[in-house]
Structures are given as C-alpha cells and as structure tokens.
Structure 1
Amino acid sequence: MPQLGESIAEATIVRFNVAVGDTVEADQEIIEVETNKATMGVTTLCGGVVKEILAEEGVSYAVGSVLGTVEATEEELERTGVTTVEAHQEEHDQAQAAEEEANVHFKTEGAGYFEPKAVEPNVKGLPVPMGKKGAHYISPRMRARMNELGLQAADISAVTGSGAGGRVTVEDLEQFLEYISTWPASSASPMRLAVADAMRRSWTRPLATVGMPLVMDRLLEYRSKQNPKPGLTLYVLRAFALALSEIPSAAGYLIGGKIVEPRAFDIGLAVQVEDGVMVPVLRSVDTKSVQELSQEYSDLVDKARARRLTEEHTKGGVATVTNFGTFGLTWATPIPLPNETLILGISAGVKKPVWSDQVETFIPVTEAELNLTFDHRVIDGGDAGRLLKRVVELLSKPETL
C-alpha cells in the first residue's frame, strides 16, 4: 500500500482489476482503493505476472502493507530499478535495528512492516438520533469504555443518562447498545466517516449564519450572452474572493491572542458525491477573471465527481462556496470546514414580486438567498453582513467579474 497523501495512514480496497496469473506492465493500475478523501488507483512498480494477491476487497490496510506480489525477470527489475520484497524487508530490518539501538521504536507490535495488516478506519462513530437528556461530563470509566468502542461524545447524545445531573453511565450506554442491536445497520464508508469527523470538529466553535437576498436577473442575462456559459456558482466564487480580499480579516484564524490573515484567497467548492461531499480548491480566485477560472473550475468538478482529487487539489482553502440551490432549497445553514472560518451558501432562485420606485409598482424578479456561516469568534454579525452586502454588490455588476 503506497503513501497516498501526507495525512493518510491507510486505505480500503475497493476492487482488484487483475487476478492471479495475469500479465501486467509497469505503472499499470491494478487496484482501486478508497481513502477518507478520494478513490484512486494503485499501480504496479514493474512488469511481470501476478503471483499472489494477499489483500481482500472491502478491507482497510495500513500504508506499507503488501497487497500482492508480481513475479518479474531480472532484466525488468534492472530496467525499472525495483527491489524485491525480500531485499526491501532486509533494508527495513537493518534500519529498524539502528532505530532500536537509538531507543526509537516505531514498529507495530506483532506485525512486520511488510505483512498485510488489516486496520480499522481511524475515524469511528455510531450514528444515533438526538436525545433530550444527558450531561457533558464523562467519567474516566465511561471515557475508557467509549475509547474501546471507538465512540465520540456526540455519538452518545441519544442515550438518556441515569447518573447524577443526567450523566450517562457505562450501564446506560450498554443498555442503549443492546436496545439498538437489532436495528438495521450498515458500515459507514470512509467518506461518510471523514465528513462526520470534520463536522464534529467544526462544531466546537460558535458558528452563526446571516442571509441576504440576491436579485439575479442582471447576472442571468449577462451569463446567457457568454460562450461558453460559466456556472453561476463560479460568479459567486469570484465575487466572494474579491470581497474577502478587501476585508481579509474576515477569513482569518483565531490562534491564541492573534487573528492570522490568509496569504492567498483560495476558495473551495463543495461538490456532492456519493455518500459525502468533496471540496476542491480554486487558487488565487481574487486575481483571475471568471473566464480565466472557468476551465480550472470544470476540471476540478469533474475530478471531484469521479473521486479523483488528490491532497494537492483539496488543501489550503480559506473559505468555501456551496450551491445547495441545486437541490431546490431556498434556505440553509451550511457549516464551514474545521480549517476555515467562512462558508457561503447559494439557494435556489425563485420568482418574487419586488417593489420598484421607478415604475411605482411590483415587478417580478428572480431572487436567490445568500447565506454566510462564520466563526463568531473571528467576526461579528455586522462584519459578516457587510461582507455579504459587498458580495451582492459585486454580483450586481457581473461584467466586472
């Protein structure tokens, strides 16, 4: 199992594209794996014949585990510069012996570095409905039992506590688990677990949401004359980045007693995929026009829907735009990622009567709602409102974007 990203320690086997006895070429994609970020391929290091497959589909394996072996000729090994499993294991053993002499231990107990070792996903959780009672305090005994089960504090919110002040006890938890043991259940995917973990961490902050209407008629008319027509979300991305470049502290991070402002306005785009959401990031959006961003935007959306994003495509965003209007929603309170302070949501456009002072009557317009969720520690409602107003002003002049 190769290292698929800086923060990725394991991946789940989705599919084998070869069988024992098949002939393969160097750099041929033979295994499809899923991480908590994307689905990607594992390729061969050299050409040869598949001798054995040691891993199983649907199981997670740690980085460094052998998933199978390829029998190759001496000429192929020399051409590709690949060492054998035995030679690589010997090098690893020698390096480990040197580390142990320095009293640095890193080998997993009971498992050789190259043995195929199945691992549990590193983000666990029990999906349960919200409860009405409970207490924030978790006793050491309760915490130990939750750690054994891989549960987070949010996972026990459905459990009614019988302890002092409504505290949930170990006995309460065991009774609840017994109670739901016969309910229909399925394993959460790595993507679903990653989203759950991100939202759990994000909700540790005081988040607030403000909204403002956007009359879209001028934007829709201008867009209809473009060839090709950029996505409406792209105009919002561009206006959001420009507004943030004027008020950079709004996208800052509160670190101790300092607010650290971003160096570049890289804006993420929420893309719905099967069982989750992926957020590719467009770089330096404030310095590029909508037309200049159009191709990059389309490529990232396609990669996200195909689950082919790399860590380079998703890291470093300072804020995100999400178009929940594609689902027909007219209001929502989106939640920013843990590493971001802001997320801007776009609702569905609807026809509404709006009073016109010029003709002194109501006229029909297409109106959408913009919802901005923000970390209230960093900015207040007034600053969030001014930021949102500036976004609306910029979108009212789409030719400048």
Structure 2
Amino acid sequence: MSDLIEIKVPDLGGATEVEVVEVLIKPGDSIAPEQTLAVMESDKATMDLPSTQAGTIVEVKVKVGDKISQGHIIALFKPGESLKTETVIPAQTPKAEAPVASVAEAPIPEAAVEPAKPAPAPPVASLQPVSIDTTGQAKPHATPAVRLFARELGIDLYKIAKGTGRKGRILKEDIKSYVKQTLNTAPQGGTVGIPAIPAVDFTQFGEIETLPLSKIKRLTGQNLTRVWLNLPMVTHHDEADITDLEDFRKSINSENKENKLTGLIFITKALATVMKQFPQFNASLSADAGSLIFKKYCHIGIAVDTPNGLVVPVLRDVDKKSIFELSSELAELSEKARAGKLKPTDMQGGCMTISSLGGIGGTAFTPIVNAPEVAILGITRAKMQPVWDGKQFVPRLILPLDLSYDHRVIDGAEAARFMVTLSKLLSDIRRFML
C-alpha cells in the first residue's frame, strides 16, 4: 500500500470548511488528469476537485454530506506507471477549484467562510431572581454591563430563561448565542423583532409547483436582508451624457477586432478615478462603527447574472490598469462566473461594486450596498434624448446612474459631488488623462 497516493482537499480560497455535495468516483475506477473526482460547496461557491494525474481509485474517504477542510483526504489511488506522482494536489493549481459563487448578492458577503454552528439556546429553567418586576415576573439575573450590551442589540433579557454564569447569571456569551440561534431559526421572510409573513396554502387557489432556491440565492437573500436592516441607505440618481464616449468606443472597436471594449469598462475606469478624488467612497466602517478604514488599493466588483444567481467577481487594481487590460480580465471573469468556475478569492476584496442593467433595460433602480463597502453604482440603459444646447435641441445619448450609499459614512452633499464628477468624466473622455 506504500505506492498509494493521497488526494487531499487543496486551498479553499478563504473558506474554512466545505460540504461534499457529490462524489463522482468509486473504488476500482480509472481516472484521467483533470477529471473531476468530487464536488464541494461552501457558503459562496461550488468547487470541483480534479485529479492531477492518471491512476486507479483504491479507496474513497468521503461521502455526500461530509464537512471537510483543507488537507482532508478525499481518496487513495494508485498512479499510472508512465506518469510522475505527487503526494498532494497542489494548493494553488489554477484548476484546483471551480467554484460557482453566491452573492450576494446583493451582492454577496466578502469572505466565503462557513458560518459557525450556533450554540444551543440555554435550557428553559426557573431563574434565581434577584428581584421581581411590577408584573410579578422574575427579573433577569445580569450585570449592568450585560444589560447595556443587550439593549444595544435590542435583545429582551426575559427571553433568555437562564444564563450559563454562576447561579444562572446571564453573560454576554449567552446573549450572542441567543442572537445566533434566533437568526438561524427565524422563519423564512421574518427577522428578529419583525413578524414573519404568514404562510399561505396556495393550493386552495390552483395548481402549484415548489422548487427549492439555490444555495447561492438563499445566502444572497440573507446577506441582503442583513445589509438592509443594518445600513441607513440613500440612493442618489443622476445622468451622464456619453455621446462622445460611445463614438470613441465604436471607433476603437473598429480598429481593434479582437478585444472589443464595452461601455462598462469605461465606467469602471472612470469610477476608479473618481474614488481617488473622494476617498471616503473607498473605505469601510470598522466592526464597532467607531472608525473609518481607508483603502490604498482600488478593486471594483462587477455584478454578473448567472443561471445560479447573482455573483460579484472583482477587478483588481483598476486604477493601475489600461482599458484593454480591464476588458480582457472582465471578459475572463464573466465567462468563469457563467460557467460556475469562479474561486472564492475572485469575489473578495472589492472596494465598490457596479450593478449594470444596461443590457436588459429600465430607467432607474435602487441597488443595495454590498457591505462592508459603503457605496454601489447602478447603471440602466442609455437612450437618445433631446438636449437643449442653448440654441436648439440636439440628440444626445444619456446614461442613467444610481448611487446607493451608507449614510453613516457619506452624506448627501458628498454623494451629489461624487456623481457630478463622475458624470463630467464620462461626458468628456479627455478628462481621463487629467
């Protein structure tokens, strides 16, 4: 058995644990290089595990439903004689993973980390009360600091029957466990403190069909709900005259047949330029919301519609790359997204997100901020409109723009100035050189 090779889980790109959703091999199977052996799923991605060489499967170490992490043994196999052997699948091999992302949604949350299992709620038991309230009910046994912590989270201590501290004292850990359990057990559509939408038996009205949501859409919905409830969001609407930009784009494409430029690439480049002038848009609030973290890099996420849901691959160092470099990278990321081959790292590190509906239609919408980012730019379809030039109406191509932002970080005046600057940049491409 000393000649057997272990097939192990490679680097998971930020995820600490994934679930085995499909096993495609069994003992005795012959495998070829790059053949998919198993499929794993994390919060934000589905990953294929390929073989690096040919051989014969001797033993399979996992089954569907197993929770595994980096380094876990998937199978043992005997390699082919003519091929060189390796003891572990390389962690950073470009084809070692092929995740299909979620997102957020909303865009989706930054890290693809499997949520921790919540601790079970403290058992219902009688308190050892320190006092009785006016209704005759025992007051929760907790220190003033813990009571303050509960008030900040909006938690009713009466709902925590007994703490894990001495003599049933409620601790901060008990409150955190209660919050985690409540979030994980809240009815679909309901949230903490908000009544859930009542269930309806639709069969009484006619024939129905029930299909489960994909994991990506479920997680995206959870993330969007969390953002909507935590961020005071405002949306600013504006327009940009992109007539000259579109003429320039068409002329470049007529000269360059291989790498066609889209209007989205110019908008992405312009956005990076404006973010340098308004650094508060390239920032995030700290976890305690007490300070602002300014980023010295400029990575922009692009929301991509896929059969499995909305995902947000990230273009890195947009401010340092040419239009043609960005166009090639976006085309590659979009193709990987639609084919379900994005890695979790492809969707992390964004500073701001663009959500474009230009290829579909619409005149305006309110995109939800992809927290912990503080702003998101929405784009709808450009159309020709008559614009008064001082003497007459002339046809101009007008692009609607929608900026949603976290009002804790950005105020209305800053948002307006940001959009005016962006509109000017898109209206006159010569400003790109300034």
TM-score by length of 1: 0.71
Change (3 A) 1:264 1:66: closer
Is the aligned partner of 1:331 residue 2:364? yes
Secondary structure, aligned partner of 1:395: helix
Give distance in 2, aligned partners of 1:352 and 1:262. Answer: 38
Paired residue type of 1:69: A
Q: Check whether the contact 2:62–2:75 (CA below 8 A) recurs between aligned residues.
A: no
Q: 1:190 maps to what in 2?
A: 215
Please report how far the alpha carbon of residue 214 of structure 1 lies from its aligned counterpart in structure 2 after TM superposition: 1.4
Equivalent residues in 2 for 1:108-119, closer than 5 Å:
none
Deviation at 1:195, TM superposition (A): 1.0
What is the rounded CA distance, in whole Å, between the counterparts of 2:200 and 2:352 in structure 1?
42
Aligned counterpart in structure 2 of residue 245 of structure 1, from 250, 267, 276:
276
Given that 2:60 and 2:76 are in contact with CA atoms closer than 8 Å, whether structure 1 keeps it comes out as no
Deviation at 1:78, TM superposition (A): 9.7
- Please say if residues 22 and 49 of structure 1, whose CA atoms lie closer than 8 Å, have aligned partners that are also in contact: yes
Alpha-carbon offset, residue 345 of structure 1: 0.8
Pair 1:326–1:27, CA change in 2 (3 A): closer
Separation in structure 2 between the aligned mates of residue 261 and residue 367 of structure 1, nearest angstrom:
33
Q: Is the 8 A contact 2:59 2:77 kept in 1?
A: no
Change (3 A) 1:123 1:207: farther
In the other structure, the counterpart of 1:89 is: none
Q: Distance in 2 between matches of 1:346 and 1:36?
A: 28
SS at match of 1:233: helix
Q: Aligned to 1:32, which of 39, 46, 60?
A: 39
Counterpart in the other structure of 2:248:
222
Q: Alpha-carbon deviations, 1:99-134, whole Å to 9, x = none?
A: xxxxxxxxxxxxxxxxxxxxxx8599xxxxxxxxxx
1:87 — aligned with what?
none
Partner of 1:389: 420
DSSP-derived class of the 1:302 partner: helix
Deviates further, 279-288 or 229-238? 279-288
Aligned match of 1:314: 347
Amino acid in the other structure paired with 2:181: N
* Equivalent residue letter for 2:242: M
Pairing 1:280-295 to 2, within 5 Å after superposition: 280-295=313-328
Q: Please state how far the C-alpha of 1:201 moved relative to its aligned partner.
A: 2.7
One of 279, 298, 301 as aligned partner of 2:312: 279
Higher relative contact order (CA 8 A, sep 6+): 2
> Is the Cα–Cα contact under 8 Å of residues 235 and 366 in structure 2 kept in the other structure?
yes
Give the match for residue 7 of structure 1. Answer: 15
Residue identity matched to 1:190: K
Deviation at 1:233, TM superposition (A): 0.8
Q: What's 1:50 paired with?
A: 57
Q: How many residue pairs align between the two structures?
A: 336
Map 1:68-147 → 2, pairs under 5 A:
69-72=75-78, 79-81=85-87, 122=115, 139-140=159-160, 147=181
Q: Contact 1:54–1:66 at 8 Å: present in 2 too?
A: no
Report the counterpart of residue 110 of structure 1 in structure 2.
none
TM-score where L is the length of structure 2: 0.66
Q: Give, in angstroms, the shift of residue 278 of structure 1.
A: 1.3
More helix by share: 1
Q: For residues 314 and 217 of structure 1, what CA distance do their matches in structure 2 show?
A: 32
Alignment match, 1:235:
266
In the other structure, the counterpart of 1:128 is none
Question: In the alignment, residue 422 of structure 2 is paired with which amino acid?
Answer: V
Whole-Å Cα distance in 1 between the matches of residues 27 and 87 of structure 2?
Answer: 23
Whether the aligned pair in 1 keeps the contact of 2:300 and 2:314 (CA below 8 Å) is yes
Aligned to 1:62: 68
Partner SS state of residue 368, structure 1: strand
| 1:22 match | 29
1:62 maps to a residue whose letter is: I
Provide the C-alpha distance between the structure 2 equivalents of 1:29 and 1:281, rounded to a whole number of angstroms. Answer: 26
Tell whether the 8 Å contact from 1:3 to 1:9 is kept in structure 2 after alignment. Answer: no
2:332 counterpart letter in structure 1 = D
Q: Measured at CA, do residues 140 and 350 of structure 1 come closer, stay the same or move farther in structure 2, by a change above 3 Å? A: farther
Deviations along 1:334-384, one digit per CA (max 9) or x if unpaired, are: 112122111101111122222220xx2222222121001111011101101
User: For 1:40-62, what per-residue CA distance to the aligned partner results, in whole angstroms no more than 9, with x for missing partners?
Assistant: 311237643234557666x4643
In 2: Cα distance, 1:389 partner to 1:273 partner: 32
- Alpha-carbon distance between aligned partners in 2 of 1:200 and 1:60, rounded to the nearest angstrom: 29
Residue 150 in 1 paired to residue 154 in 2? Answer: no
Counterparts of 2:211 and 2:183, CA distance in 1: 16
Report the CA distance between 1:301 and its aligned residue.
1.5
- Written as runs of structure 1 = structure 2, the 5 A alignment for 1:333-348 is 333-348=366-381
* Alpha-carbon distance between aligned partners in 2 of 1:253 and 1:73, rounded to the nearest angstrom: 49
**Cα distance in structure 2, aligned partners of 1:365 and 1:15:** 56
In structure 1, stretches of 5+ residues that fail to align are 84-120, 125-135, 160-165
Secondary structure of the 1:13 match is strand
Write the letter of the residue equivalent to 1:242. Answer: T
Q: Secondary structure at the match of 1:337?
A: coil
Is 1:202 matched up with 2:227?
Answer: yes
TM-fit CA distance, 1:153: 7.6
Residue number in structure 1 paired with 2:399: 368
| Deviation (angstroms), 1:388 | 0.9
Asked whether the equivalents of residues 54 and 80 of structure 2 are also in contact (C-alpha less than 8 Å), the reply is: no
Indicate the residue corresponding to 1:101 in structure 2: none
| CA distance in 2 between partners of 1:180 and 1:55 (Å) | 40
- Report the Cα offset of residue 331 of structure 1: 0.7
Residues 30-81 of structure 1, C-alpha deviations (whole Å, 9 max, x = no match): 2233433333311237643234557666x46433697863442798999423
Letter paired with 1:194: L
Q: CA deviation at 1:12?
A: 4.7
Instruction: From the superposition, tell whether residues 297 and 78 of structure 1 become closer, same or farther in structure 2 (CA, over 3 Å).
Output: closer
Identity across matched positions, percent = 27
Task: State the partner residue of 2:133.
Answer: none
